Amino acid sequence: MRLSTVILPVRRWSEGGRQVWQRAEELGFHAAYTYDHLLWRSFREQTWFGALPTLTAAAAATSRMRLGTLVTSPNFRHPVTLAKELISLDDISDGRVTLGVGAGGNGFDATALGQEPWSPRERADRFAEFVALLDRLLTEDAVSYQGTHYSADEARNIPGCVQRPRLPFAVAATGPRGMKLAARYGQAWVTTGDPKVSNGGGTPDESLEAVRGQLERLAKACVDQGRDAADLQKIMLTGFTPDRPLDSVDAFVDFAGRHGELGIDELVIHWPIADSVFEADVAVFERIATEGLAQLGTP
């Protein structure tokens, strides 16, 4: 199992932003991700910077740790411009970028460009077209395409990604259409657990069973795509289940062990932010980063 973190873009680069990303690398995290949103929930009236410029700065400030989004969505992104930025970021980072990608939701991003929120069907349709076109744009030198929601006219992306055939996709999905996309295009799959369990006051055991069910459906989607599910990495973004893995090292070890037994390959924990839903004891967080997997018996 690998341990990663997600660093929200809430700090000025000159006032601690750079140091947080560098500290993440010092602590030995496999990867550091950030949310790709224009705004996010309780942070709406607070500092919030753009994901890709932040990752570009992080790429220049670090040298080993992988970097990525958790997650990018079609809400305010277009595959043509996104592909160009990702290829640039992959080059600047020397091939350390993973694109976490999801269908998005009905939050602030969904209407920030002046559009009406999409229906669930339209969101799923757009996501499928978005991922398929992005795959082509990142693997082909020139792409022309006319779709229902997106178009490209000789969009050129020379020299392509440092990572070949392209940078990896980590596809966030819980429904059948999203899991099909993960099985077809993803190098990893992402879950935050089952919101029905968390929002409904469910227990950690119920959450664990829900994740087990997701993994079973993902395995079936892989079979349907003629793919071995073992080839797809399974990532869990923590912080959205009834569990409290950052309360102590023991709590983390228990959480990680239970989810590792299910088949989760990578856990992502939120970097602490004071006075927010992601508040946590920094000393405990750093102990989890440096000791947690070792206590689990994972090198």
Span 250-259, pLDDT tens digits: 999 999 999 9
- Across the range 36-57, mean pLDDT stands at 95
User: pLDDT exceeding 70 applies to what percent of the chain?
Assistant: 99
User: Is residue 232 over pLDDT 80?
Assistant: yes
Span 110-158, pLDDT tens digits: 899 998 899 999 999 999 999 999 999 999 999 999 999 999 999 999 9
What tokens does 269 get? 């924990």
Span 16-32, pLDDT tens digits: 999 999 999 999 999 99
| Apex 264 CA angle, 259 and 269, nearest 5 | 80
Classify residue 37 as exposed, middle or buried by CB count within 10 Å of its CB (0-12, 13-18, 19+): buried
pLDDT band at 198 (very low <50, low <70, confident <90, very high): confident
Q: Which domain holds residue 183?
A: 2-296
Other CB atoms within 10 Å distance of the CB of residue 174: 23
pLDDT band at 290 (very low <50, low <70, confident <90, very high): very high
Query: What is the reported pLDDT for 199?
Result: 82
| Apex 115 CA angle, 113 and 116, nearest 5 | 145
Q: Using alpha carbons, list the distances in angstroms from residue 296 to 29, 32, 215, 253, 292.
A: 16, 21, 22, 6, 6
User: Is residue 298 over pLDDT 70?
Assistant: no
Query: What is the reported pLDDT for 136?
Result: 98
Counting every residue written for the chain, the total comes to 299
pLDDT band at 299 (very low <50, low <70, confident <90, very high): low
Residue 159's domain is classified under what CATH number? Answer: 3.20.20.30
| Sequence-separated (6 or more) residues with CB below 8 Å from residue 56 | 88, 89, 92
User: Is residue 57 over pLDDT 90?
Assistant: yes
Q: Give how many domains the chain has, as a whole number.
A: 1
The structure tokens 């890709």 sit at 52
Q: Which pairs with CB-CB distance under 8 Å and at least 24 residues apart come from 221-226?
A: 221/176, 221/179, 221/180, 221/182, 221/183, 222/183, 224/180, 224/183, 225/180, 225/183, 225/184
User: Is residue 59 over pLDDT 70?
Assistant: yes
Q: Which of 295, 289, 299, 218 is nearest to 23 (CA)?
A: 289
- Across the range 271-285, mean pLDDT stands at 97
Query: What is the reported pLDDT for 295?
Result: 87
pTM over 0.85: yes
Amino acid at 231: D
Query: What is the reported pLDDT for 107?
Result: 83
What tokens does 16 get? 């601690």
- Across the range 167-182, mean pLDDT stands at 96
